[in-house]
Structure 1
Amino acid sequence: MTAKPGKITQREIARIAGVSQTTVSMVLNDREGSNVRIPEATRARVKEAIERSTYVADPAARRLAGLDNQIIGVFTYEPALSPESMDFYGPLLNGIERGAETLGCDLLFFTSSPVEDGKRKLFHRKTRLRLADGCILLGQEMDGADLERLVDERFPFVAVGRRDETAARVPYVGIDYAAPTVGLIDRAVELGHERAVYVHRGRDTPTARDRRGAVESPAADRLVRTTLAADEDLTAVAGTVRAAGATLVLAEDAFLAEDVVHALRTEGLDVPDGVSVAALAEVRGHRIGGRALTGFHVRRGQVATEALALLQQLIMTAPEEWDTLDTQRLLSADLEAGETVVERRPA
């Protein structure tokens, strides 16, 4: 089989390092039996050549050779298993685990590359991407260059969440936040709310832009909106609410909503009877003063299942046919009525 233009192969690595393909294969697979010793100088040359080219095995070629590993990779740009992250990543990881079990595949977490400035690098020299037949990418922020490179190299992968970091056609399964946001605003208007403040974290991620775009869209014009980018100090929230004459605060996520409620109550505002509060994110399990927080139910387990199904479809389809597949999918979030957006009462 001839290599595709631009594809780095074991033959090319062998040429760069001045060794045989067999030696390259042994280094790639960490095979060093008792009867075969690879000199450290030779191993170092091969590793240097790999680092220079960041070798990624061609999954299609591996399948044709009967070498598919039945391994699905999982790469997280941010730490996913910390207590702070598990509220978001837990349902996704559980869904991925169940889906992989159904497919008869093992999961491989790519954790060897270090977290630097809060993010991992997919193409770090320690990341053994080639061991997997395909990969699920997780992260609020992803590297556009990584995504473009994966697309160019035709490596099977699916990103969780809508991606727009590159013009390349990135396969993804994400959540449509626009429709439920407009639905929540319509519900608030029906309850008599006329003015609202949207509090967000100031992030420039696809989902953050989707939420803010929905809040500011013409479809939400029935409600007068003011936006506020929050930092660690939320003392300005109460003043912004009072200045805007708002009776509703929309927060980007449930944890921010809880912090906003604390800030409002500290400044003497009654929540929810004086100021209603909702989150434009998953709210199940979040309560405000004993009341269920209003917001969305995001079926993250379904997102994981759909992402694995799409990845399996890519793995089993010839790369030249990928353009015929539906590789960008948005699932709907459900409106969770909760108890923190209440009917507006006359002053």
Structure 2
Amino acid sequence: MVTIKDVAKLANVAPSTVSRVIANSSRISEQTKKRVREVMEELGYHPNLQARSLAAKSTQAIGVIMPNSAYYAFQNPFFPEVLRGISTSSHDNKYGIYLSTGSTEDEIYHEVTSMVLGRRVDGVILLYSRINDKTMRFLQQSDFPFVVVGRPDENEERVSYVDNDNIHITKQVTNYLIELGHKNIAFVGGSINFVVTIDRLNGYKLALQDAGIPFNEDYLVHEDFIKENGREAIASLMNLSDPPTALVTQDDLIAYEMISHLEDMNIRVPDDISIVSFNNLMLSEHSKPPLTSVDICIYQLGFEATKCLLEKISVPDTLPKRITIPTKFIERKSCEQKK
């Protein structure tokens, strides 16, 4: 078993310095902290945080970790709404919130390790589930209280998480378009680095398979392509020899963008193409046309995740939980029977 002395020896510092790095002491330089943390990671050393917490007072704060910087995250209405749920539940229990500011995967990882090792928070909520995520792995290995909004990529049975049944929902949504007579259905948006995209893509494929419709790779447009050039992304779809007559989009923001580009191409929604989406943002019923969307109950995702985390903080032996938040399919005017 790796000890503080092993870390100190390899980092060429005193064991007391390692202890101060773990406590995030201001007396230790950032350069030394960086070197010691790198050695801790290299040796796989994780302090006994539960034992330390007995000596330390509760911070009465929880860390909320976003998939990228707050600047970009808050451009998506999902995050203010999920934070509203987190804030309500936290406030009810007299807890404050510590928001992450990292913009890359590495920055997020270092911020979380600093939060945890420095005992700046009592627990963490991850607002995403990434494939092969070292941050989630660190939290597990540290035996630190955390909850995920989204299905974990690995060790699902050992992690508490709150999610929708994304495979089932997307299968239903795709079936809805199939029942309207659509066979050429594209799946637009979402990063395959996140589990939510993989689950929704699987639900989409299952619906096609059950209907005997072959899956067409050309009908798959990922988020990276849309970010680079949304207009080109939709144009490449509509210029196919057999263009789609319907789109399943990852969220309402992508749907709005697609509708705008389609309008520029004189392709009308829903007359020429149907669109269905997720999140049911406030603007969805006022967009032109009003958008058919799945209400994933974003507020509830945040509220239940916080409730679950606070229980885990107060009762560390609490068994891992899977909480599935029900969804509502809101049918509006962006889908039409195929002519």
TM over 0.5: yes
What is the rounded CA distance, in whole Å, between the counterparts of 1:77 and 1:187 in structure 2?
31
- Which residue pairs with 2:300 in the alignment? 302
Query: Against the structure 1 CA distance between its residues 269 and 313, is the aligned structure 2 distance closer, same or farther, given a 3 Å change threshold?
Result: same
- Greater helix proportion: 2
Change (3 A) 1:174 1:81: farther
The answer as to 2:255 corresponding to 1:247 is: no
Counterpart among 103, 112, 134 of residue 115 in structure 1: 103
Paired residue for 2:326, among 307, 332, 339?
332
Asked whether 1:127 is paired with 2:114, we answer yes
Counterparts of 1:315-326 in structure 2, within 5 Å, are 315-318=313-316, 321-322=317-318, 325-326=319-320
> Residues 288 and 237 from structure 1, CA distance in 2 versus in 1: closer, same or farther, beyond 3 angstroms?
farther
Measure how far apart 1:83 and its partner are.
6.9
SS in 2 for 1:115: coil
* 1:198 shift after superposition: 2.3
What fraction of aligned residue pairs are identical, expressed as a percent? Answer: 21
TM-score (norm: length of structure 1): 0.77
Partner amino acid, structure 2, of 1:332: P
Could you say which residue in structure 2 is the equivalent of 1:229? 221
Gaps in structure 1 of 5+ consecutive residues:
32-37
How far off its partner does 1:119 sit? 5.9
Query: Does residue 52 in structure 1 map to residue 39 in structure 2?
Result: yes
Q: How many residues align?
A: 321
67 and 99 in structure 1: CA distance in 2 versus 1, 3 angstrom threshold: same
1:43-102 deviation line (CA, Å, top 9, x unaligned) = 976774355326866443245346222221122231134476341211111111111101
Q: Is 1:71 aligned with 2:69? A: no
Distance 1:47 1:275 in 2: 54
Q: What's the CA shift string for 1:247-268, capped at 9, x where partnerless?
A: 3222222222223223433333
In the TM superposition, what whole-angstrom CA distance separates every residue of 1:297-317 from its partner, at most 9, and x where no partner exists?
121111111111211222122
Alignment of 1:155-166 (within 5 A): 155-164=144-153
Normalising by structure 2, report the TM-score. 0.78
Distance 1:100 1:70 in 2: 9
**Deviation (angstroms), 1:109:** 2.2
Q: Are the counterparts in 1 of residues 162 and 324 from structure 2 also a CA contact under 8 Å?
A: yes
Aligned to 2:189: 200
Residue of 13, 18, 29 corresponding to 1:17: 13
Cα separation, partners in 2 of 1:281 and 1:146, compared to 1, 3 Å: same
Partner of 1:34: none
1:137 is aligned to: 126
Give the Å deviation of 1:341.
0.8
- Partners of 2:130 and 2:153 within 8 A in 1: no
AA aligned opposite 1:238 = M
Match of 1:154 in 2: 143
Separation in structure 2 between the aligned mates of residue 26 and residue 140 of structure 1, nearest angstrom: 28
Aligned to 2:239, the other structure's residue is in SS state: helix
Alignment of 1:28 with 2:16, yes or no, is no
The alpha carbon displacement at 1:290 in A equals 2.4
Letter in 1 for 2:220: L
Q: CA deviation at 1:139?
A: 3.5
